[in-house]
Chains A and B, each alone.
Chain A
């Protein structure tokens, strides 16, 4: 864990060192002040030397000012180091996620990645800052206060031999007993939040089935759980303070008793005794601070683990097999031909069955391929292997006559454009989103792509045209409009292979047909793969694949399949009974 996080703190090593030194110096100077005070009492007051008192007083003020300067220095250094570390860690983590393959993203889940980038990093940067301020201060305080006390009187300091172990035991017991309670508190909180989250997401279901009472019951159960755990946890924590107070006060009384006798016997000066009180309070306070830091750190350790997990995750797909092209530029696919050679694939090594099994296939460049098949038959998996979103487990997938691994991912995906089933538009204008496809696209090219995707008709009606603001996640356009914009974005890449994964499901039949017509004229040379539910969408394709249970059940043209393939006929007939409209 240290290995993965420390490199991001290293650029701030100087700041950290400076902060630590400042904190330490601040503590030492603070502790020198009571020592001077004892001189005032024992020398100044005893001899009635006013000038001495004023001199020593001035020294104390000087010490305080020095301590203040160090304190401010520590504040600056710890802030710069803490926030800098956070920014650097966040950048590294975010950058590392950019190298993730789809399988890596799915392993963590999107929501968990977001938490690990936001809350966890935030917690870590704050912890680093706070530990620089406190973690150094407390031990330095403890050690120097002990040192000064022993110098004042070794005999009196024997009291610490009793008090310190006692305090240590109290802190240790408390940490050991509350630790698991706080972990369980976190679990109960998560469980409660889960109920709320699911309730919010499914509120229509809850209301339709009149299950409000059941939801309340479910919530109440978790709520009671949480309440009882927090009562136990916080109930334990509140013992902390009074118990420590008792030990501190016990020590003060013992010092009074023994110290008082020593003062009377003349082996200790009264001023030293007063200074001694100050140190006792100081020592105990710093111990309390240490216990607080420990509590904070247990949470931080969990965060650090979660961030380190992300940083330690090896990208499932890398460019390590990429071959150089001519002139040292990355190799580019020569054309849009696609070959599958005995390809088998599954999403996780543990799952028993294949998602795709022993697929062999040749698609010549420039052809149009339709892919049909039932839910879970492997259509999406099949096309995902082409831009190498996932890696085939057995066999090879080739584009342009060479295995996909021979290209860098960037050059492969520059040539293979895919419109995902669950597609996203980003905050910004329509133009900004379209430029994702080609940052250098001219106004004419943008409109041409929109025309091909049949997005021009609604764009022209929009007040801002291409500069209409989409709002977060593209909330200002309907499902069908969004799909058409996503297609336009993909076309702008001028790809050699264009893949549409059920990308016109929310578009009506007529528009769907004109989009396909545009493909035939505008993207003549590109190989087009179209996954569809409707036979009509793929009917004119050069090749139609019928997928069933991870295999290609049949392939051929519409006419061939009508003759040879039972499944295809069945699907065709079921859809002939009615058209389909924009849903």
Chain B
């Protein structure tokens, strides 16, 4: 049920959001909790709503005495008095309407802002697995479509729904007071109207579902084809691409026309049924008036009978908006309620220095020494000793990627992983910083189980340079400073020089102040990787993980930045993944991985002597699947 269900309103309207909410009561309850801190506001809103409805409905009733008691007899001072009363009632009504709408705007916008902040805040704590299993488009639509419908509902529908219901019941009540027989006529029409709403509504909903599906298909096709537009051009495939498009385009047009015809019929149908009601009321009322002469009563009743139909259409519209808002809220809460990354660790990373006696003590200045602070207050020096013992892991519980992996990295060593795609190289490094939870075995860091280390501290101690580069909108300097937020300009430039990025940065239009946008789209992949390395250099972490960090940098440039990389790696424990064996050649220990198992280990020379897998890879004899 989209916001433009069977109503005449809502041009555009987001695609999707067509699902029915699963648990209306529960979700409404959660929404109510957000509104909880506005209890007083809401009470005030309720009071104003009632007052405004009473004024609107009551104001029309005044027409009867106005005509019967003052105009027809010609009592003008009385008419003036009565009109003054009427004016006051109307002004009060308008003020109340303004009052409750203004308060609702405040409530809805602050609530929506709070929901947005909570959604984003909670999302930051979710495990990577969550981001692996949800597409960006899907998550983005939580922030755009879903929040939008919730905002729309809080802003308008809540108030409208209540005021329409109040107006409707008020109007019916007043009609009964004015003339029970005429009210019967109205009831008959209302029954027909409800029937129309129901039949048109349910067909319209079905057609809308078809329309949304067709829209999804045409939009999906457009997205895929435009993404691959360059390939289409290279293969002269324009005509076929256009045929495929046109098929979906026409299907959508047919479905949309059907849906829109039905939706568009609602307004004239309701409006004119109301006029028929008006006509019949006029007739019957006229016949009655011949007998009782209550002209004012007829005038007032006619005014009511014109109003009575409106709430029905509006209520049916608002209920749809509200339902799709509840469905949206449900999806938002689903993300908020996803359990965050497991983070029970208590051990924290602190700066330390040796005092005169040579013992380690915690300090609050910038030293190059780090230590782990245990909950009992003792310090363990950070050395970068990483051990895996009998670790097994799979992204899905039932598909194990790593089988019984044991390895150790001594402090200051360079450890390299080689192996074909899917052998589990990246997986191993993702386990050290606990991006994923292992299913068996233990990983220790300086003798501490990584599970006991606070995640924030664990990750701060590890600098990771990933194969897929990501740059944020902002200046080049900002992007490097992402590694360490308080780095000075000099430190940023030093990091860039270390990574060999200084040269190309200086050639950019504004140097370090050049603004990057669209994930640094104006830079080449190689340049982006250099910036990524600079970012890690700026962070200056005790342990480095380089996952194909130089894969897009040509060998000559790699050669040029080798010195910088050597300086970057000096004295640190470094894990390197690379497909160029030249990059890993000088590693202290090289692990050859195959299908999640370490099949060979040793340094370059000893591995070559073994004449095993590594030897075959190095000499290019063996093909990897």
Contact = CB atoms under 8 A, between A and B. Distances in A.
A246 B91 contact: yes
A522 interface: no
A32 B218 CA distance: 45
Contact of A583 (B421, B535, B559, B622): B421
Interface string A69-80: 011101110111
Nearest to A438: B235
A83 B230 contact: no
B242 to A, nearest CB: 6
A97 B226 contact: yes
B195 interface: no
B188 interface: no
A374 B568 CA distance: 23
Given A260-B79, A583-B421, A94 B222 contact: yes
Nearest to B148: A189
Contact of A253 (B86, B227, B553): B86
A505 B518 CA distance: 25
A309 interface: no
Contacts of A109: 518
A235 B101 CA distance: 8
Contacts of B8: 133
Interface string A182-226: 000000000011101111111111111111101110011001101
Given A253-B86, A257-B79, A209 B559 contact: no
Contacts of A75: 260-261, 264-265, 267-268
B333 interface: no
Interface in B250-290: 250, 252-253, 256-257, 260-261, 264-265, 267-269, 271-273, 275-276, 278-280, 282-283, 286-287, 289-290
Given A60-B282, A64-B279, A98-B232, A26 B268 contact: yes
Interface string A24-52: 00100010010011001100110010100
A263 interface: yes
Given A201-B470, A246-B91, A261-B76, A67 B272 contact: yes
Nearest to A436: B235
Interface string B59-83: 1000100110011101010011001
B38 interface: no
A581 B559 contact: no
A274 B238 contact: no
A453 interface: no
Interface string B68-110: 0011101010011001001100110111011001101110111
Chain A contact surface mostly: helix
Contacts of A577: 581-582, 585
A513 B619 CA distance: 13
Interface in A389-447: 389, 409-410, 413-414, 417-418, 420, 422-424, 426-427, 436-437
B374 interface: no
**Which of B8, B12, B433, B559 has the largest count of A CB atoms less than 10 A from its CB?**
B12
Interface in A514-543: 533, 536
Contact of B559 (A105, A273, A574): A574
B224 A281 contact: no
Nearest to B283: A57
Contacts of A472: 224
Interface in B548-563: 548, 551-559
Contact of A72 (B246, B268, B622): B268
B336 to A, nearest CB: 14
Given A95-B242, A114-B222, A196-B143, A216 B582 contact: no
Contacts of A84: 253, 257
A82 interface: yes
A66 to B, nearest CB: 9
Contact of B519 (A198, A215, A374, A478): A198
A579 interface: yes
Contacts of B275: 30, 33, 60, 63-64, 67
Contact of A204 (B245, B282, B470, B524): B470
A256 B66 contact: yes
B519 to A, nearest CB: 7
B43 interface: no
Contact of A207 (B139, B287, B289, B459): B459
A117 interface: yes
Contacts of B228: 424, 426
A100 interface: yes
Interface string B176-217: 000000000000000000000000000000000000000100
Contacts of A238: 98, 101-102, 104-105
Contacts of B232: 98
Given A57-B286, A109-B518, A196 B94 contact: no
Given A205-B482, A270-B71, A437-B235, 6 more contacts: A37-B302, A61-B276, A74-B268, A114-B227, A196-B143, A245-B94
22 contacts: A37-B282, A37-B302, A60-B279, A102-B230, A114-B226, A199-B123, A210-B456, A219-B121, A273-B67, A277-B63, A299-B12, A374-B554, A374-B557, A375-B554, A389-B233, A413-B235, A457-B625, A479-B421, A480-B421, A574-B558, A574-B582, A580-B620
